[in-house]
Structure 1
Amino acid sequence: MTMDDDLSRIGISLPKHLLDRFDEILNYRGYSSRSEGIRDAIRTYITYYKWMSDVKGLREGVITMVYDHEQRGLLTNITDIEHEFHAIIKASLHSHVSHDKCLEVILVHGDGSQLKALAERLMSMKGVESVKLNTIQIEE
């Protein structure tokens, strides 16, 4: 028996709009079930996590973040985190995407572990919908 044959059942709670959008994508991509789509999403998440683990050395990069600015306390928390990491943040751009959604682009420069730490702190906050870190290594 392979590891994929050893299945575990889980239960999750999702906002209806998120599940509806997920179902649309599954249908468009031809998935046979939600379970297969969720397994694929988890594999992608694990791959991204492994890639993030390899971010080392002097790096230049960009963090893109989408969040709900109506989430209580989120703006204060984002500001506090950005101040904590001020040494690696070179610039940021804030855009109002809709009434309650914002896009923030943060240019960063520094040690890969610090860039990764900043991205992970941002992605762990309630109300943050998406955080992506893209970097290139700087030749010293």
Structure 2
Amino acid sequence: MTVVSISMPDDLLERLDGFADEHGYTGRSEVVREAARNLLGEFDDVNLEDEELMGIVTVIFDYETTSVEEQMMHLRHEHEDLVASNFHSHVGDHYCVELFVVEGELDDISSFVGKIRATNDTLSVDYSILPISEFTHTLEAAE
């Protein structure tokens, strides 16, 4: 097996080690391998290819890190054909939540989420996607 060296903030490394201990992993490498498999498999769902999708992307960041908000707005404008709407809110004492409603194809949504995840100083990036056809069939059946 190839050995890979990565850099991460001390607090993230502590969380990683704590997670490994709490969940019975043999070490941080096992956690990182599983996380990499999960991340790479997120958009591998063949059932979503060639489907028109809708989704929500949620980003949390510290509001004192002003560059994150600017970067989110840059990405929103860069992907205006994908982002149907977005919402910004303050939560807690220092945090912001940026919520993007997206509509498009899997590759485009994947690229958008990847660019958000690559943004420095984001604390959390989460998303949910569904095929629009799933709701079209439900509406047609109800008629």
Q: What TM-score does the superposition give when structure 2 sets the normalisation length?
A: 0.74
Return the letter of the residue paired with 1:84.
E
Q: For the structure 1 residues 130 and 56, does the alpha-carbon distance in structure 2 shift closer, same or farther, using more than 3 Å as the test?
A: farther
1:34 matched to 2:28? yes
Is the contact between residue 65 and residue 131 of structure 1 (CA under 8 Å) also seen in structure 2? yes
**83-92 vs 29-38, which moves further:** 83-92
Q: 1:87 to 1:134 in 2, by over 3 A?
A: same
Tell me which amino acid in the other structure corresponds to 1:20.
E
Contact in 2 for aligned 1:116/1:133 (Cα 8 Å) = no
The answer for the alignment partner of 2:7 in structure 1 is 13
Paired residues, what number? 133
Identity score, percent: 24
| Alpha-carbon distance in structure 1 between the residues aligned to 2:29 and 2:15 | 15
**Runs (5+) with no aligned partner, structure 2:** 137-143
CA distance in 2, matches of 1:34, 1:134: 27
For structure 1, which runs of at least 5 residues remain unmatched after alignment?
1-6
The match for 2:126 is 132
The residue number in structure 2 matching 1:22 is: 16
Taking structure 1 as the reference length, the TM-score comes to 0.76
- The verdict on how the C-alpha distance between 1:98 and 1:55 changes in structure 2, with shifts beyond 3 A counting, is farther
How big is each residue's C-alpha offset from its partner over 1:42-80, in whole Å with a ceiling of 9 and x where there is no partner?
22222224349x554311111112234434532222112
2:88 matches 1:88: no
Structure 2 CA distance, aligned partners of 1:89 and 1:46? 23
What's the Cα RMSD here? 2.5
CA contact (8 A) 1:97 1:103 kept: yes
Alignment of 1:119 with 2:113, yes or no, is yes
- 2: CA distance, partners of 1:55 / 1:97: 35
